[in-house]
């Protein structure tokens, strides 16, 4: 593979752009910048100004660092790159798909890192299947304040691959360009991987947001636990009916994962609804409901969660 | 009439104030700063069109009151378990108790301890709340419906109605009080559940077709239980109730208000009762079970918010 980036040890390195430098994008951007990658972060507003003026700060479990970063709100200033880490919020996807056109050449690979299972579809429609790698982030991070990211997970891990499972040279070359800062893996089963996470995060997010209560504590009650289990079973049934290979142990693994979280762990939708921010509702419970209707699988619990969260979808000030 | 009000909050305090002003011998049973304020300054009632302050007997100990003619039982339902036995000193040979609470189980709970013949199930429509200790605001004028469980016309019911009417409280004797309780319960359990879980008032929430459908499905669950129990309920109750709620000005269900303020909620007497009664009689209640599960973490409120 011939890359476009700056020359290092006689060969050009991978040129990377991070579209959306929020929690996950900002965390990956900081780690890759620190490792010497040729990378630009695309973001906007106060967060952009803060990182341009003071650098980007990453607070980790075991320490923290601040680093100067290349950051801009204008992708045309960046030009074509080898890799786009596409890390905007799901409700920003349509706008961001258009915005990244200047970043893409014929060989450019775009790794999607949204929650949910359908953001890659919009990119494939715009850029075709050869440039889009649907991905899953296991990196837990959020913006603590403008220019400051908090990384909660110990590692920064992403898994991605082509939707059709082909292991093309362009896709296979990506992990080496991200190592060792980011633990990246290419898979030929990305759709299953996406659904395994979706199975857990769509119900978990919607339930902890609707109950206004941390999921880990909620599943300590019999009612909360069976609610989560039933909601996950709905998602699994929808996936199976859509032709996705679902790991038969996925639900049990999901509950075990939830139990392993710290006692007051908030999934992002709970933090968002408490702060009155927009919710990724359409990409999560909304997607379960929509896909369920398409494949004729009833999803009564996800229907109810969706109905009760809908008034908060675009964000609203919290009550007194 | 010698009247004791068990629970002098929004509903009980307002009725007690009006009955005392009309010259009845009223004792309020309350506690905490609200009791202290009533003792020190009297009870102030702010009505939609007038306001007054009245000196009224108030205590936290029913034994100090002794037997009365009528008890209005107006505590929040989650106090029932502890409070019902405290009524014993108020009971004489001919004492009647009107239950004026949300839910459909209170008259049976009281009847089991104090004798079913003494209990007159009632329903209360109004919006009143404690503004500050000793001060009660009535936003919508109180209306009461009560009656004998067995549909008899009784002299005691007529006496009570006359006393209430003389005090300016709109009161009717229902030939079928359980029907009235269930009509209110079917709407309230569904509305309180969905608006609390959505943290959104009915006016706004019911503009969303998905939530509207869920509201109707939740009402259907409770209606099916009522019908299975032999309560006389109209088949088109759900549609009529929906139209009724749509016709109301903006308001907030009391459970939503309690939840938002971090107070204990009446979840067990509403969705909790739908689930319990549904299990007893074999009617599935998926929507209320869902609502119960997501509201359960807040059932007892946040400590210190009462």
- pLDDT tens digits for range B25-48: 999 999 999 999 999 999 999 998
Report the percent of chain B where pLDDT is more than 90: 90
Task: Using pLDDT thresholds of 50, 70 and 90, give the confidence band for residue B257.
Answer: very high
CB contact under 8 A, B208 and A311: yes
Nearest to A227 among B211, B213, B290 (CB): B290
Q: Which residues share a beta bridge with A148?
A: A57, A145
B199 vs A contacts (CB less than 8 Å)? 212, 312, 319
pLDDT at B306 over 60: no
CA distance A308 to chain B (A): 5
Of B199, B210, B211, the CB nearest to A319: B199
Using H for helix, E for strand and C for coil, what is the string for A122-176?
A: HHHHHHCCCCEEEEEECCCEEEEECCEEEECCCCCEEEECCCCCCCCHHHHCHHH
Q: Is B199 on the interface with A (CB under 8 A)?
A: yes
Measured distance between the N- and C-terminal CA atoms of chain B, rounded to whole angstroms: 32
B77 within 8 A of B11, measured Cβ to Cβ? no
Could you tell me the pLDDT band of residue A9, with boundaries at 50, 70 and 90? confident
Q: Please count the CA atoms within 13 angstroms of the CA of B89 that sit on its side-chain side.
A: 12
- Report how far apart, in Å, the C-alpha atoms of A75 and of each of A17, A108, A122, B200 are: 9, 14, 19, 40
Task: Indicate if ipTM > 0.85.
Answer: yes
**A95-142 residue pLDDT tens:** 999 999 999 999 999 999 999 998 999 999 999 999 999 999 999 899
Q: Who among A218, A301, A312 is closest to B290 (CB)?
A: A301
CA distance B209 to chain A (A): 8
Say if residue B253's pLDDT is above 70.
Answer: yes
Residues A38, A177: contact at Cβ < 8 Å? Answer: no
d(CA B27, CA B34) in angstroms, rounded, equals 14
d(CA B200, CA B208): 11
The stretch A267-290 carries a mean pLDDT of 96
A116 token code pair: 């949910």
Q: Please tell me the pTM assigned to this model.
A: 0.91
In B, residues 251-280, which contact A (CB 8 Å cutoff)?
Answer: 260
> Across the interface, do A310 and B208 touch by the CB < 8 Å criterion?
yes
CB contact under 8 A, B293 and A307: no
Q: pLDDT of B68-112, one tens digit each?
A: 999 999 999 999 999 999 999 999 999 999 999 999 999 999 999
Between the alpha carbon of residue B52 and those of residues A127, A181, B128, B132, B139, the distances in Å are 73, 73, 15, 15, 15
pLDDT for residue B156: 95
B275 CB burial (10 A radius; 0-12, 13-18, 19+)? buried
Nearest Cα residue to B248 out of B209, B203, B189, B201: B203
Give yes or no for residue A317 having a pLDDT over 80: no
> Left (φ > 0), alpha (ψ -120 to 50) or beta: where does A296 sit?
left
> How far apart are alpha carbons B143 and B48 in whole angstroms?
14
Confidence of residue A260 (pLDDT cuts 50, 70, 90): confident
Put simply, the answer to whether B296 touches A212 (Cβ < 8 Å) is no
N-terminal to C-terminal alpha carbon distance within chain A: 57
Over range A236-242, report the average pLDDT.
98
**The pLDDT value given to residue B305:** 59
Give the pLDDT confidence score for residue A266 in this predicted structure.
85
Q: For residue B268, is pLDDT > 60?
A: yes
Q: What is the mean pLDDT of residues B238-257?
A: 93
The two structure tokens encoding residue A16 = 């990377």
pLDDT at A319: 61
Question: Dihedral of the CA atoms B152, B153, B155, B161 (nearest 10)?
Answer: 110
pLDDT above 60 for B173: yes
Count Cβ atoms within 10 A of the Cβ of residue A122 and give its class: 0-12 exposed, 13-18 middle, 19 or more buried.
middle
Residue A193's nearest CA partner among A162, A232, A215, A156 is A162
- How would residue B142 be classed by pLDDT, with cut points 50, 70 and 90? confident
Q: What pLDDT score does A315 carry?
A: 95
Q: Which residue of A has its CA nearest to B260?
A: A319
Interface contact flag, A319 B211, Cβ < 8 Å: no
| Tokens coding B94 | 């001919």
Is B78 within 8 Å of chain A by CB? no
- Region A72-78: mean pLDDT is 97
pLDDT at A320 over 90: no
The residue with greater pLDDT, A140 or A54, is A54
Q: What's the average model confidence in pLDDT over A43-55?
A: 97
Band (pLDDT 50/70/90 cuts) for residue B151 is confident
Nearest CA in chain B to A318: B199
**Cβ neighbours of residue A68 closer than 8 Å, sequence gap 6 or more:** A33, A55, A56
Residue B273 tokens read as: 């009762």
Looking at chain B, the whole-number percentage of residues with pLDDT higher than 70 is 99
Q: Does the bond joining A180 to the residue before it have cis omega, within 30 degrees of 0?
A: yes
* CA atoms of A8 and A293, how far apart (whole Å): 52
204-243 in B: which are within 8 Å (CB) of A? Answer: 204-205, 208, 210-211, 213-214
Determine how many CB atoms are found less than 10 A away from the CB of residue A36: 11
Can you point out the beta strands (E) in chain A? 7-8, 11-12, 15-19, 38-42, 56-59, 64-67, 70-72, 81-86, 104-112, 132-137, 141-145, 148-151, 157-160, 183-186
The arithmetic mean of pLDDT across residues A208-223, rounded, is 94
Asked whether B33 and B133 are in contact (CB, 8 A), the reply is: yes
Mean pLDDT of chain B: 95
Amino acid A214: pLDDT:
93
Contact by Cβ (8 Å): B264, B301? yes
Cβ-contact A254, A290 below 8 angstroms: no
The proportion of chain A whose per-residue pLDDT surpasses 70, expressed as a percent, equals 99
A210 touches chain B (CB under 8 A): yes
Mean per-residue pLDDT over chain A, rounded: 95
Q: Is B5 helix (H, G, I), strand (E, B) or coil?
A: strand
Confidence check: pLDDT of B304 > 80: no
Q: Which of A221, A223, A307 sits opposite B208 (nearest CB)?
A: A307
Is A298 in CB contact (< 8 Å) with chain B? Answer: no
Run of H or E residues at A80: none
């Amino acid at each position: 593979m011939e890359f476009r980036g700056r020359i290092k040890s006689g060969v050009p390195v991978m040129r990377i752009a991070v579209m959306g430098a929020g929690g996950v994008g900002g965390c990956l951007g900081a780690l890759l910048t620190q490792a010497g990658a040729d990378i630009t972060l695309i973001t906007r507003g106060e967060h952009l100004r803060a990182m341009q003026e003071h650098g980007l700060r990453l607070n980790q479990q075991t320490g923290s660092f601040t680093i100067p970063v290349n950051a801009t709100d204008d992708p045309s200033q960046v030009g074509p790159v080898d890799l786009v880490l596409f890390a905007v919020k799901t409700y920003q996807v349509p706008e961001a798909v258009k915005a990244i056109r200047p970043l893409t050449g014929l060989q450019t690979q775009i790794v999607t890192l949204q929650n949910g299972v359908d953001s890659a579809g919009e990119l494939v429609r715009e850029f075709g299947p050869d440039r889009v790698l649907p991905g899953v982030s296991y990196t837990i991070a959020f913006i603590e304040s403008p220019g400051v990211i908090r990384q909660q997970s110990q590692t920064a891990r992403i898994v991605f691959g082509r939707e059709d499972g082909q292991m093309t040279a362009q896709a296979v070359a990506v992990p080496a360009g991200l190592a060792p800062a980011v633990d990246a893996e290419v898979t030929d089963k990305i759709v299953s991987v996406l659904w395994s996470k979706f199975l857990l995060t769509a119900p978990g997010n919607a339930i902890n947001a609707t109950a206004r209560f941390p999921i880990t504590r909620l599943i300590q009650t019999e009612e909360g636990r069976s609610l989560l289990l039933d909601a996950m079973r709905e998602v699994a049934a929808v996936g199976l009916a859509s032709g996705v290979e679902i790991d038969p142990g996925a639900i049990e693994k999901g509950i075990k994962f939830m139990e392993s979280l710290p006692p007051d762990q908030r999934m992002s939708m709970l933090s968002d609804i408490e702060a009155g921010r927009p919710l990724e509702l359409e990409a999560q419970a909304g997607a379960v409901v929509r896909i369920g209707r398409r494949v004729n699988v009833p999803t009564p619990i996800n229907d109810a969660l969706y109905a009760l969260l809908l008034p908060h979808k675009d964000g609203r000030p919290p009550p007194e | 009439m010698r009247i004791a009000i068990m629970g002098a909050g929004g509903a009980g305090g307002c009725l007690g104030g009006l009955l005392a002003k009309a010259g009845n011998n009223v004792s309020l049973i309350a506690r905490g700063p609200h009791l202290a304020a009533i003792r020190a300054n009297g009870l102030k009632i702010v009505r939609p069109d007038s306001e007054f302050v009245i000196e009224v007997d108030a205590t936290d100990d029913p034994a100090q009151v002794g037997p009365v003619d009528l008890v209005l039982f107006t505590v929040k339902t989650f106090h029932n378990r502890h409070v019902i036995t405290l009524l014993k000193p108020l009971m004489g040979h001919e004492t009647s108790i009107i239950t004026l609470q949300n839910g459909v189980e209170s008259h049976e709970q009281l009847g089991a301890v104090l004798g079913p013949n003494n209990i007159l199930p009632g329903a209360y429509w109004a919006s009143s709340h404690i503004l500050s200790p000793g001060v009660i605001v009535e936003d919508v004028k109180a209306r009461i419906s009560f009656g004998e469980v067995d549909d008899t016309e009784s002299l005691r019911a007529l006496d009570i109605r006359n006393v209430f009417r003389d005090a300016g409280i709109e009161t009717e004797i229902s030939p079928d009080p359980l029907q009235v309780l269930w009509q209110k319960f079917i709407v309230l359990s569904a509305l309180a559940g969905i608006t609390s879980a959505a943290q959104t008032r009915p006016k706004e929430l019911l503009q969303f077709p998905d939530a509207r459908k869920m509201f109707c499905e939740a009402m259907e669950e409770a209606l099916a239980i009522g019908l299975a129990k032999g309560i006389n309920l109209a088949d088109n109750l759900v549609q009529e109730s929906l139209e009724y709620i749509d016709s109301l000005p903006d308001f907030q269900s009391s459970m939503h208000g309690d939840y938002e303020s971090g107070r204990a909620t009446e979840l067990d007497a509403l969705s909790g009762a739908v689930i319990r009664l549904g299990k007893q009689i074999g009617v599935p209640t998926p929507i209320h079970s869902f609502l119960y599960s997501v509201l359960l973490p807040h059932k007892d409120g946040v400590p210190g918010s009462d």
